[in-house]
Amino acid sequence: MSRRRRVVLTCLAGCSLNLVLSAQPMTSRRLISARFRQLTRESQWRLVSSLPFNFDTYHPQGMVRIGDAFFVSSVEVRQPTQRFASPQNGLDRDAGTGAGHLFKVDRQGQLLADLPLGEDTIYHPGGIDCDGIFIWVPVAEYRPNSRSIIYRVDPSTLKTTEVFRYADHIGALVHDRADRSLHGVSWGSRYFYRWTLDDHGRVTNASTPPARLREINPEFYIDYQDCKSVGQHEMLCAGLSSYQPRGTGPRFSLGGLDLIDLITRRPVLQIPFEHWTDSGIPMTENPFWIEPTEQGLRAYFLPEDQRSTLYIFETAS
């Protein structure tokens, strides 16, 4: 068996429950889309298990499952950003200091590897995706309208390759295998970006300025934090936003899952996810992963910082 085929089967084993789906990754992804489209507001998500991670996760951002391992992107903030009294060069705050991480974690919550990512003021990894061969990770400055480096990581060797740089904060990234394109969302997911790849995996439009390439996201009830390609030119995104019922009342946070058409950049189906941690954090605060079960869907969430717990939910309808 070729190395490429071995890696594909290993990577997408985490997308499914059995070898049949693992050997047909696009079928598995389309199954996620088809079953998600059947969900309604009344669909019941049941917490089936939880797994504490036994190390400091800092501030997790994105997650994929590959075989028996979870890969989690995270930002370690060493000095928080500070807002300027007035914008400077189009930026509303300083860069702060920190470090970017991609953790490899086993099914017992133990840290297997810690891969550093980024450089200098570019230390904020975002939402991540796996294309069947590589993990795609955007790392940005921790401020809007800034800069990003897009990496691909070989999950078997943890070799990191810088693919391109872009003049905006890219907060999440997916790879659409159907047409070899990358899709990113900006700070707060207010803009969508699409980059095309040639036959050698090189980005053909990385030099196109943001103002010419981006398209406004028409959805405003949540900000996307982590997204996954689910085939058929679609991505599934998890996110949240906070609301204040009264001007002086307490705020509350609402999470949701959105299926997005990557051609039209419009939502196909939007489902609120009304589950929170005991401390009131929405499950969709940051990293998530989703896969089909025999009859429904299983979703993984990692909403908490520092001492994180992985929450696993299932739904049959």
Asked if pLDDT for residue 26 goes beyond 70, the answer is no
95 occurs within a structural domain = yes
250 occurs within a structural domain = no
- Mean pLDDT within 170-182: 96
Using pLDDT thresholds of 50, 70 and 90, give the confidence band for residue 235: very high
246 occurs within a structural domain = no
* pLDDT for residue 249: 81
What are the pLDDT digits (tens) for 197-227? 999 999 999 999 999 999 999 999 999 999 9
Rg (CA), the chain: 18
Domains identified in the chain, total number: 1
The residues, any chain, with a CB within 8 Å of residue 241's CB and separated by 6 or more, are: 221, 222, 223, 253, 254
139 occurs within a structural domain = yes
> Cβ(237)–Cβ(260) under 8 Å?
yes
What are the pLDDT digits (tens) for 43-66? 999 999 999 999 999 999 999 999
269 occurs within a structural domain = no
* pLDDT for residue 195: 98
Asked if pLDDT for residue 10 goes beyond 90, the answer is no
What are the pLDDT digits (tens) for 299-310? 999 999 999 999
**Above pLDDT 90, what percent of the chain?**
86
Using pLDDT thresholds of 50, 70 and 90, give the confidence band for residue 16: very low
* pLDDT for residue 14: 42
Q: Which domain holds residue 154?
A: 3-217+283-304
* pLDDT for residue 244: 87
* pLDDT for residue 25: 56
pTM over 0.75, yes/no: yes
What are the pLDDT digits (tens) for 255-303? 999 999 999 999 999 999 999 999 999 999 999 999 999 999 999 999 9
17 occurs within a structural domain = yes
Q: What is the DSSP letter of 127?
A: B
* pLDDT for residue 253: 94
* pLDDT for residue 13: 38
Asked if pLDDT for residue 70 goes beyond 60, the answer is yes
Backbone dihedral region for residue 188 (phi beyond 0: left; psi -120 to 50: alpha; all else: beta): left
Cα distances (Å, whole numbers) of residue 258 to 8, 31, 72: 26, 16, 21
> Cβ(226)–Cβ(260) under 8 Å?
no
What are the pLDDT digits (tens) for 117-147? 999 999 999 999 999 999 999 999 999 999 9
* pLDDT for residue 42: 92
> Mean of the per-residue pLDDT values for the chain?
91
Token pair for residue 210?
Answer: 């943001």
251 occurs within a structural domain = no
The residues, any chain, with a CB within 8 Å of residue 294's CB and separated by 6 or more, are: 17
% helix, strand, coil for the chain, step of 5: 15, 50, 40
239 occurs within a structural domain = no
Asked if pLDDT for residue 23 goes beyond 60, the answer is no
Which residues partner with 261 through β-bridges? 234, 266
